[in-house]
Amino acid sequence: MSRPKVGHIQFINCLPLYYGLVHNNVLLDIELIKGTPTELNKMLLEGKLDISPISSIEYCRNYRDLMLLPNLAVAADGEVKSILFVSKVPLDKIDGRPVALTNSSATSQALTRIILRDKYKVSPKYFICPPDLPQMMMEADGALLIGDDALRVLYDPPKDLYLYDLGKEWKELTGRRMVFAVWAVRRIFAAENPDLVAEVYRAFMKSMEYSIQKVDEIAQAASRWENFDAGFMKVYFETLSFDLDSAYQQDMLAYATRAYELGFIQEIPKLEFVEV
């Protein structure tokens, strides 16, 4: 049997999971394929990956073809740090102005539109583009950045620009936490390889448990590879949640309901989990 093809988000937010996989020698048993959330979404839905993180909104759009892995997500209770809206003007002044949305994340694109519409009562002119802040701000008055691009802006904020953390904005708008990505397996693969899926899932959970215990070590390692100090990295990792308990599931469905009401998805999904 060939090794399962497993997606991995190539952002610092998934370093804890990857770090544990390396430590536990799991990479020998899987074919790990790295990419942005948008790239991994596409590969999973095209059958080029068997198991992968997927943007929450893309799971909602394709839940009939996918099943969730329990207790695994990228989520935050309020501030998330790596999902930022950068603006030349306060958000209540951005109505009708051009806004650039990174092409790296479908979930955050919809989240931005929801927050600006429902919290700030504005309707900017949106366009999608690569995550290059100087280029974005040449063409727009506001820009959505995610992942490492957002962290770099937060770590060294540009002068004369407003920064908005969209995890915090969502919490203020709804009182709920935000699930940005989940881990999913293609239904066909899960049906044909239940033992293999369970094995990969156990490796993920073991990796995450290891990484939670080693957060100082991981933060120190990350600070050697990136232009962030270890203290900044530790606070960031501790800001994130990688859980998908029943409360987070309800929060994810609340986001899906809002996305459905605004026409971003065609129906409210069921959250169906593989047996592991």
Read off the pLDDT of residues 71-103 as tens digits, 9 standing for 90 and up: 999 999 999 999 999 999 999 999 999 999 999
The yes or no reply on domain 83-174 and CATH 3.40.50.10860 is no
Read off the pLDDT of residues 120-171 as tens digits, 9 standing for 90 and up: 999 999 999 999 999 999 999 999 999 999 999 999 999 999 999 999 999 9
Would you say residue 178 has pLDDT above 70? yes
DSSP 8-state symbol, 2: P
5-76+178-261: CATH, from 3.20.20.140, 3.40.190.10, 3.10.50.40, 3.30.70.270:
3.40.190.10
Q: Listing from the earlier edge strand, what are the strands of the sheet with 83-87?
A: 125-129, 98-102, 142-146, 83-87, 162-165
Would you say residue 27 has pLDDT above 70? no
Residue in the block written with tokens 């309901």:
257
Question: What is the C-alpha to C-alpha distance for residues 228 and 43, in angstroms, rounded to an integer?
Answer: 30
Q: Domain locations in the chain?
A: 5-76+178-261, 83-174
State the average pLDDT for the chain: 93
Read off the pLDDT of residues 219-268 as tens digits, 9 standing for 90 and up: 998 888 888 999 999 999 999 999 999 999 999 999 999 999 999 999 99
pLDDT at residue 33, rounded to an integer? 93
Q: Where is pLDDT greater, at 69 or 211?
A: 69
Tell me if domain 5-76+178-261 and domain 83-174 are identical in fold.
yes
